[in-house]
Structure 1
């Protein structure tokens, strides 16, 4: 293969770590659209006075802290998303075969993310075509946002905090299976009583953001300027938006009453086997609408955008279901 000296030659590989911050060679390769993952360093410069010295001395600058920060953006595809979903949601998932078919269901229920981290290996091309290695260890997802609107693909954007960057690893050879993105033509949105939600008309765009707050400032002595694994330090925050045409008062009434409803946002793709189709589904057992009552701002169709917060209904946890041909994450 001829390497290309631009973003066309870039790659991202990921793998689950057994121990936070310990390198594991890439097992999955993500088709991404944009990334900003990079080493962030903190330095201190001595300001000691020395007779006649007009410039700070290079030898008296020290590196006091290192970490990794950034984001990873991608289209959500019909294969290969399991590791990312597991890191966001927390549950350790084993895909379950559906009957005797090639379809396997992953159910990512909201749980603690303690002990969950990734090694992310970036391949960044020089203009010569040589691809340089940037291996990021101890990567934890601190938030994930999914979005899809009219004429769009389903996308995911993930904020990531990491422990360190290593440029001495061997760059893995990327390999990709034939993947297809989920898209608006496959999208459905349902609301109502949990377990019996019904299709909601007029929805043009949906976004759901899941935030996993963590203490990412665990820098201690004896750690060689590196952090220890972040610890969850706040409740999960789930928010989202529903952009719509004003075809019914269902959402408007919920906003007025501040009532709760279960929300199911799903994408149903081609049949894998039997009755099992490629699926990406987010279920939020209880949401409440914060803003967005309809207003008239011209001659056009009324298009309210409702903002919502996801909450716990006391029984059922939010979950992401992913039905694919992936036998493992």
Structure 2
């Protein structure tokens, strides 16, 4: 027996692009829009006696899939997803001072192609008078993360939306992989209560076992968002490929963007906007419960060594506290050995 709430999404990294693998990673999600990404051509040749386009002249010209998955980020289970989104993951390393705590640092790929994954979503079907309800499987091979966005709102939790492109036809014949017992256990969420933000100052870059430190802690940020667009190309549909992509999407010039909502209690941000100052940005989200033996907690930390702000000037607010929004772009500081963005994931997971 199933209910309409028994939806699932599972994935697994592929060894070869577009060659489907059996999914084994299940993660909870709040919404998804995975769907067909097809194109059709309707013949336009004229013929006496017909006023409506003819059925035989409608054909498929493009095959694929696309859509978004939105999730509340959890303290376990997200390492493999971060690798797909960024492209490069350092080794999943146990922190020497704290047995049972592992960490990896994710950075942007420097090769043409990001890794790909097979995704299977399970969709429950209502029963009829003669047919019991069940879960139907839709399997998408050759899926790549085209962009990823993080959001933290006041009094909220850290959410993440991944946008996917799939280069193969949807498969409805692969059996549904049951999700029971396959979700990571002991997961918690990253709350606004345990979030902090560094804006400006001098920071140290994270390593495989340490977080970024230093900088100027900002105490006036209500909300923040950050996104990375990998600028994947939409080509690779070549003759002989049946309308599907014969290769993965190739990366373009990545864009790092975001926004801050600020209570107006300092001119730091307005001065940075007006003078186009480069500032370091570090977003740190800690889990609520200690792991390991020395009091460390799970962490998602996003480090952008240099951003430039493109914000609005503060405006009157009818007597209420004045806030203003400031968009920003992340840039390559061109410092030897330094990446334009890092994501650090610290967890009690035993594997990435």
1:278 equivalent to 2:285? Answer no
1:176 equivalent to 2:175? Answer no
State how 1:202-217 maps to structure 2 within 5 Å.
Answer: 202-217=220-235
Tell me the secondary structure at the aligned position of residue 252 of structure 1. helix
Aligned counterpart, 2:209: none
Aligned counterpart, 1:140: 144
* Structure 1 CA distance for aligned equivalents of residues 55 and 158 of structure 2: 49
Cα distance, 1:40 vs. partner?
2.1
Cα distance, 1:56 vs. partner?
3.9
TM-score by length of 2: 0.88
Cα distance, 1:283 vs. partner?
0.3
Cα distance, 1:233 vs. partner?
5.0
Deviations 1:135-192 (A, max 9, x none): 0111111111100111111101111111121111111111212321111111100122
Aligned counterpart, 2:283: 265
* Structure 1 CA distance for aligned equivalents of residues 171 and 65 of structure 2: 11
Aligned counterpart, 2:11: 14
State how 1:177-192 maps to structure 2 within 5 Å.
Answer: 177-178=184-185, 179-191=187-199, 192=201
Q: Residue 59 and residue 150 in structure 1: after superposition, are their counterparts in 2 closer, same or farther (change >3 A)?
A: same
Q: Which deviates more from structure 2 when the two are superposed, residues 168-177 or residues 136-145?
A: 168-177
Aligned counterpart, 2:126: 127
Cα distance, 1:231 vs. partner?
3.9
State how 1:31-180 maps to structure 2 within 5 Å.
Answer: 31-50=28-47, 52-53=49-50, 55-99=52-96, 101-112=99-110, 114-128=113-127, 129-164=133-168, 165-174=170-179, 175-178=182-185, 179-180=187-188
Whether the 8 Å contact between 1:89 and 1:112 is mirrored in structure 2 is no
Tell me the secondary structure at the aligned position of residue 135 of structure 1. strand
Cα distance, 1:115 vs. partner?
4.4
Tell me the secondary structure at the aligned position of residue 215 of structure 1. coil
* Structure 2 CA distance for aligned equivalents of residues 104 and 187 of structure 1: 20
In structure 1, runs of 5+ residues without a counterpart are: none
Deviations 1:63-117 (A, max 9, x none): 2211111111111111111122111211044310112511110110222361411
TM-score by length of 1: 0.94
Equivalent residue for 1:287, pick from 307, 310, 328: 307
Whether the 8 Å contact between 1:20 and 1:115 is mirrored in structure 2 is no
Cα distance, 1:250 vs. partner?
2.1
State how 1:201-240 maps to structure 2 within 5 Å.
Answer: 201-240=219-258
In structure 2, runs of 5+ residues without a counterpart are: 128-132, 205-213
Aligned counterpart, 1:193: 202
RMSD: 1.7
Cα distance, 1:57 vs. partner?
3.8
Q: Which deviates more from structure 2 when the two are superposed, residues 310-319 or residues 225-234?
A: 225-234
Cα distance, 1:326 vs. partner?
1.6
1:303 equivalent to 2:314? Answer no
* Structure 1 CA distance for aligned equivalents of residues 259 and 102 of structure 2: 30
* Structure 2 CA distance for aligned equivalents of residues 295 and 61 of structure 1: 56
Cα distance, 1:209 vs. partner?
0.8
Whether the 8 Å contact between 1:149 and 1:184 is mirrored in structure 2 is yes
Number of aligned positions between the proteins: 326
* Structure 2 CA distance for aligned equivalents of residues 53 and 66 of structure 1: 30
Whichever structure has more strand as a proportion of its residues is 1
Cα distance, 1:293 vs. partner?
2.3
